[in-house]
Amino acid sequence: MEAQSSHEMVMARKRRREGSNGDTEEGERLGKIPRCTVGLKNPAPFADELEPADNKPYERVTMEEAKKGTPLNRPVRVYADGIFDVFHSGHARALMQAKRLFPNSHLIVGVCSDELTHKYKGFTVMNEDERYDAVRHCRYVDEVVRNAPWTLTPEFLARHRIDFVAHDDIPYISAGSDDVYKHIKEAGMFAPTQRTEGISTSDIITRIVRDYDVYVRRNLQRGYTAKELNVSFINEKKYHLQERVDKVKRKVRDVEEKSKEFVQKVEEKSIDLIQKWEEKSREFIGNFLQMFGPEGALKHMLKEGKGRMLQAISPRQSPDSSPVREERSPSPTFRLPFFSKTSPPPSPPHHSGARAYLISEDDDEEGEDDDN
């Protein structure tokens, strides 16, 4: 019950926002609908299959009483009739409006038979049994009357205990009458609804007739025979030829689209490759200049290596505090093997600058001159 009441609140808000033809007004957005199970499990029953009503006398409710709301055990019985050929959303919206006329309503829908329909309106696409079954599966319908009368009589209204009749208020000219609902309107039992523009059984049939060749080819392709479609042998072959031509055209179109996609992918890849090549080229040039440029790393390495080579091959200069004579570098000293005099071991150098008893080559030459 709680889910049902919340659903009714949402539906009431939706009705307030809807226009006269049931369409939602632009610029307004409906609120979210609570999650609840509102669908029906069984189709609506037929009137001749229901148990007979109680023996209470039939008393209609007034429009004011119906709008205020009636007790749960006394719903307002609303009747809507029609042909309902090729049942579509326009039919469903009309029945929805009839169901929502009053807070507590019971919708009875009358469907005319094939005999009456073909007599007063014309040939139908669906037969009466198909139309009955389509209507009873609409969620807004509570009861279906088969073989409904073309003009409503007081006996029919009393038998089904009808309070109001719902239909669009456009005069319905048929069966030699300017308006078959004229007496209902005069009795105060008429409740007007609005038609849904842009959709009707005649519009649907017009679309099929307009695109006849397309639908014939469609059904031939799906396995229907030319006899079932009432198509001649020549037209059948023509439709098959057109279908083959269209297949070739579709294949050519697919190849063109795929080739365009391939070319586009190649262009994208080539652009990516060129961009990567440019990036790598700039990186390579930068590295080359960094290594071999005027101020590159190689120049600094060569300068550093040259400085090390010059430092390695240049003679070392003696420090100023060296006791060695500056005129010439002393000759290497060595001991004479034939010198008989043993020389004392060299003493450590003193601060007075005394020389050790080491014989140089110059001293040997002076000795030889004295002997001569």
Per residue in 131-189, pLDDT tens? 999 999 999 999 999 999 999 999 999 999 999 999 998 998 887 788 999 999 999 99
> The tokens 């007081």 sit on which residue?
154
Write the DSSP symbol of residue 343: P
Q: What is the pLDDT of residue 12?
A: 44
* Mean pLDDT calculated for residue range 188-196: 94
Contacts of 79 (CB under 8 A, 6+ apart): 108, 109, 110, 152, 157, 160, 162, 164, 165, 166
Which one of 44-53, 191-200, 290-299, 352-361 scores highest in mean pLDDT?
191-200
Q: Given a cut of 60, is residue 4 above it in pLDDT? A: no
Q: What is the pLDDT of residue 351?
A: 44
Q: Given a cut of 70, is residue 86 above it in pLDDT? A: yes
Q: 124 and 118 in contact (C-beta within 8 Å)?
A: yes
With 0-12 / 13-18 / 19 or more C-beta atoms within 10 angstroms meaning exposed / middle / buried, residue 10 is: middle
Query: For a pLDDT cut of 90, what percent of the chain falls above it?
Result: 39
Q: 144 and 46 in contact (C-beta within 8 Å)?
A: yes
pTM confidence score: 0.60
The domain segmentation of the chain, as residue ranges, is 63-198, 202-304
Q: Report d(CA 128, CA 118) in Å as an integer.
A: 11
Q: What is the pLDDT of residue 321?
A: 53
Q: 278 and 270 in contact (C-beta within 8 Å)?
A: no
Q: 239 and 220 in contact (C-beta within 8 Å)?
A: yes
pLDDT in tens, 107-143: 999 999 999 999 999 999 999 999 999 999 999 999 9
* Mean pLDDT calculated for residue range 62-91: 94
pLDDT in tens, 10-21: 444 444 444 444
Q: For 78-82, 131-135, 176-180, 360-364, which range has the lowest pLDDT when averaged over its residues? A: 360-364
- CATH code for the structural domain at 63-198: 3.40.50.620
Which one of 55-69, 177-191, 230-244 scores highest in mean pLDDT?
177-191
Q: What is the pLDDT of residue 298?
A: 73
> Which has the higher per-residue pLDDT, 7 or 158?
158
pLDDT band at 288 (very low <50, low <70, confident <90, very high): confident
* Mean pLDDT calculated for residue range 200-222: 91
Rg, C-alpha atoms of the chain: 58
* Mean pLDDT calculated for residue range 325-331: 50
Mean pLDDT, rounded, of the chain? 79
pLDDT in tens, 339-352: 444 555 555 554 44
Strand ranges for 101-203 from DSSP E: 105-111, 143-146, 164-168, 190-193
Q: 145 and 110 in contact (C-beta within 8 Å)?
A: yes
Q: With CA atoms as reference, report the closest residue to 190 among 213, 170, 215, 220.
A: 170
